[in-house]
Amino acid sequence: MLFLLNIGNTHTQPGLWNGKTLELLPRIPTAELRPDQLPDDLPVAAATVVPEVRRVLDREEIFWLTPQNAARCVDFSYVDSSTLGTDRVANAVALAEFYPLPALVVDCGTAITIEIVDQERIFRGGAIAPGRQLMRRALFTGTAQLPEIPLSSELPQHPGSNTRETIRFGIDRGAVGLVRELVECSAGKYGCITRVVTGGDAPFFSAALGLPVTVPEFTLHGIRIAWSRCRD
């Protein structure tokens, strides 16, 4: 048994690995994550993009994913790994484990990231851009009159006729165009034969771009695989 944590900027996704299957547990707002929410009787493996949370939760027995301890799975030596987010490390590990290479994964959450692994299992970097919700918040906080509108699962088909519709058209259509350009450029550079999407906003981008959605526990599997290889 293994308790897993994918600690994101907004939410934390816990999971429980029983040796054969991975069960997703209810998400926790990252700001509310506490040490007493971790089991005392199970090993814990985690990836976090929030350094403060690691300081809050840190205890000796937690396996914290890094590019260095994931090196048995994917070669991260061709990039500057000192600033590489461990969610991206986990995605690269899962991508190399489950899909034909070269491949890329688009992770759609607070940020939109792309991770690329070539046919030699070398991590080739990717892209980082703001997600749809972050774009909405930036407009709201950076302007005097524009409202913060909720996410929609449907891609707008026409330019907006009022402010809310105009924001939706601009952000959602713009985000799809952004991801399409990043995917096409990345795939062209490395000849990626596999292209998948994951993350909380994956259904929206999958429908808009025709990319297959990988399993919801994709990033957790990357953490698990790296933990397992370090024990071999």
Instruction: Convert the pLDDT of each residue in 61-89 to its tens digit.
Output: 899 999 999 999 999 999 999 999 999 99
Please give the pLDDT value at position 61. 85
**36 tagged catalytic:** no
Q: Does 106 score more than 90 pLDDT?
A: yes
Q: Which residue in 75, 87, 118, 172 is the catalytic one?
A: 87
How much is the pLDDT for 58?
77
CA distances from 108 to 55, 77, 150, 204 (A): 26, 25, 16, 9
Higher pLDDT pick, 58 / 49: 49
Average pLDDT along the chain: 94
Residue ranges and CATH numbers for the domains of the chain are 2-131+174-231 (3.30.420.40)
Residue 60 has pLDDT above 80, yes or no: no
pLDDT of residue 76: 97
| Predicted confidence band of residue 136 (pLDDT cuts 50, 70, 90) | very high
10 band by pLDDT with thresholds 50, 70 and 90: confident
Greatest extent of the chain over all pairs of C-alpha atoms, in Å: 60
Of 222, 229, 220, nearest to 3 by C-alpha is 220
